[in-house]
Amino acid sequence: MELCYQLPVLPLDRPVPKHVLSRRGAISFSSSSSLFGAPDPRQLSQRRGAISYDSSDQTALYIRMLAVTNKTIKPSFVFTPGDVRVRSQVGFEPERRGSHPYLGVDFRTLHSRAESAGSIPARRIRRLFSFQRHLLSSRLLRGAPHLNTLHILDEDYCGQAKCMLEKVGTWNFDIFLFDRLTNGNSLVFLTFHLLNQYGLIELFQLDMVKVRRFLVLVQEDYHNQNPYHNAVHAADVTQAMHCYLREPKLAQSLTSFDILLGLLAAATHDLDHPGVNQPFLIKTNHYLAALYRNTSVLENHHWRSAVGLLRETDLFSHLPAEDSLGIERQLGSLILATDISRQNDYLSRFRTHLDENSLCLGQSSHRHFSLQMALKCADICNPCRPWELSKQWSEKVTEEFFHQGDIEKKHKLEISPLCDSEANTIASVQIGFMTYVVEPLFAEWARFSDTRLSQTMLGHLGLNKASWSAMEPEASGSSEEGESEPTRATEEPSSRALSQGSQES
């Protein structure tokens, strides 16, 4: 039996990739679509699948399928330029999101290691079993009776994670350790803790089950195969955002609504990131680039993906429609501010406000702008972390760049800047990034919020830049090789001293 839904003629020059059909987290729309007053896309298909398109030009490029249980019939879609047909097909297993539609590049395996896909869950299972063996032996030594209950995490590890959350406001917070202690659930645990710590769950009368489900879906929609743009990065940005929200100038001015927006934007700012940059999507004619007209492609996708999950979980369904739409709009404004191509625009505006002393946090628009700048700082704050953390992030982001460059070489495309592993090193990439992007931004942030934390971040930034400079081949000639180690030895204690000082900020 065949069910057919006829839509207007769509100007598609190629089929929409199969992985889009199984997307659970994103709804695509424009200013004329459901975000601004059109019916909820869920009403279109009664939760069997929502079709959302830009009604201004009838560009239906994004199909969102909601998750269905194994007992239900899973629909498949066949696209032609003239219609969209939904066919019932028992046993159909749609391809997961992540594969590149036109180059044959699979985003799921783009940044995967040499090990097989099944080895990762196996390793986690072994780790869980080791937790259980440790727990069992501890109970036997204490004379406690054996329990057959299988815990997800060992109680000792949960206790350590809770202890870390008590210091979540310190700048040397080790998100990598926290992610290990939570078995890869750092984003869920940390964001839920912060929402509860600020009293936002109670204040906005949020359903705790919906909050948890929303955060789990957000974490799932990050690609863990990406070396850098993954859920751990989102958790790290959320923790940094929390540190900035506690700065006196912001803490005295921001409302609870501002704080809620800031935390949600930090947690979702890179949602469903494919592990490649915008120029790559544009020059490969990716459907997202066409959908968003080559403008803030990734940031628009992150925002629409976040809105899709907000609506799927009905997180704000108890609020008036105008309020929930306002949250979605302002969430988009914050996420779009993270577009690095617009860095100079935001920085010059920020500098002008500071020069003229015209930033009045009593105005909602100025508070929102300060949140945008805080999120921008949180997004690229890795060079301002202690060396032990900053170095790991630097290696991860450069690995992701070089993977993209390898893909571009393979398909004979122009290699994007910083993505050529033969022409660049980790040190050269980081020195350039710190000099031209990070330093100007954090110098202005220190003018805005001249606190111990700001000075700590600038101190780490200077030390980390010096450390990378010492690793550059040109900077370490034969006559300087004997001096590099003593120099590094003197830098690391200073970095540790800054880390200890930042714990009190």
Angle at Cα 392 formed by Cα 420 and Cα 495, nearest 5°? 120
Question: Residues 6 or more apart from 294 whose CB is under 8 A from it?
Answer: 278, 282
Query: If we measure between CA atoms, which residue out of 179, 152, 154 comes closest to residue 165?
Result: 179
Q: For helices 343-356 and 439-448, what crossing angle results, to 10°?
A: 30
Q: Is 269 annotated for ligand binding?
A: yes
Rounded CA separation 351/444 (Å): 7
Q: Is 19 annotated for ligand binding?
A: no
Catalytic residue among 229, 242, 286, 302: 229
H helix or E strand, kind and range, residue 474: none
Q: Is 232 annotated for ligand binding?
A: yes
Three-state helix/strand/coil letters over 256-313: HHHHHHHHHHHHHCCCCCCCCCHHHHHHCCCHHHHHCCCCCHHHHHHHHHHHHHHHHH
Task: Say which residue the tokens 């939760």 belong to.
Answer: 47
Q: Is 231 annotated for ligand binding?
A: yes
Structure token pair of residue 162 = 């809770």
Radius of gyration of the chain (CA): 24
Structure token pair of residue 361 = 């946090």
345 to 338, 349, 445: CA distances (angstroms): 12, 6, 15
229 is catalytic: yes
Query: If we measure between CA atoms, which residue out of 217, 215, 161, 173 comes closest to residue 192?
Result: 215
| Pairing, β 75-79 against β 2-5 | unpaired
Q: Which runs of E-coded beta strand occur in 113-178?
A: none
- Amino acid letter, 299: E
Q: Is 230 annotated for ligand binding?
A: yes
Rounded CA separation 468/483 (Å): 15
Angle at Cα 55 formed by Cα 51 and Cα 61, nearest 5°? 50
- Amino acid letter, 406: D
Binding residues for Zn(2+): 233, 269-270, 379
Binding residues: 229-233, 269-270, 379, 430
Binding residues for AMP: 229-233, 270, 379, 430
The set of catalytic residues is 229
